[in-house]
Amino acid sequence: MLFHSRLRFLRWFRVVPLVIMAVLGLFSAGYKALPAKLTRQVIAPVPYPAQVADCAARHGVDPYLVCAVIKCESGWNETATSPVGAQGLMQLMPATARELAEFGLVNASKYDANNLHDPTTNIEYGCAYLAYLQKQLGSTDKVIAAYNAGIGTVHQWSSQANAESDFSQTISYPETALYLERVHLAYADYQRLWPEGIGA
């Protein structure tokens, strides 16, 4: 009797993974059969394509990166406010926006730094900030990490790296390491689902 019970258990033990694989296979096939427009809305939405394309081009940043940052920062919620006061789609601190305006990186007469819940204004300042980080840091990984942890922290991490080490291995904040991974995954989704470019 015990032998038969074990035999039944082993049969189920072998069958369950096969059933799971079959279900995942069906889900994957169904997912690929979904219209691209619907897939984009769920996985890689871009509620403000014209604003992203325009601001990214003006500041010389990758529109896919802009979309990935927005998705990870706020999930495209223009009214989002963090516990520390970051605002809007790209979760900018008002002080950072004011500095970007003072540096002349954003036209403050057209884009009010105190109006960060406005999508166009927020994307303008967010793109300007990404461009600034890009100019200071160079690598995309460092730009993404600095957007989350600050440019000073990234300079510290960079100073610890050597020629053989990957910059991502020097990140000591688990939140930033996870953020870097999330942005890369979102970036890949936007590239895959918007092959002709954002807004195309």
- Which residues are catalytic, by number? 73
Task: Report d(CA 49, CA 33) in Å as an integer.
Answer: 24
Q: Please state, in angstroms and rounded to a whole number, the distance separating the CA atoms of residues 141 and 16.
A: 40
Give SS3 for 109.
Answer: coil
- Computed from CA positions of residues 26, 32, 33, 36, in that sequence, does the dihedral angle turn out positive or negative? positive
**Are the beta carbons of 66 and 92 closer than 8 angstroms?**
no
Distances (CA, A) of 45 to 70, 71, 152, 197: 10, 8, 32, 13
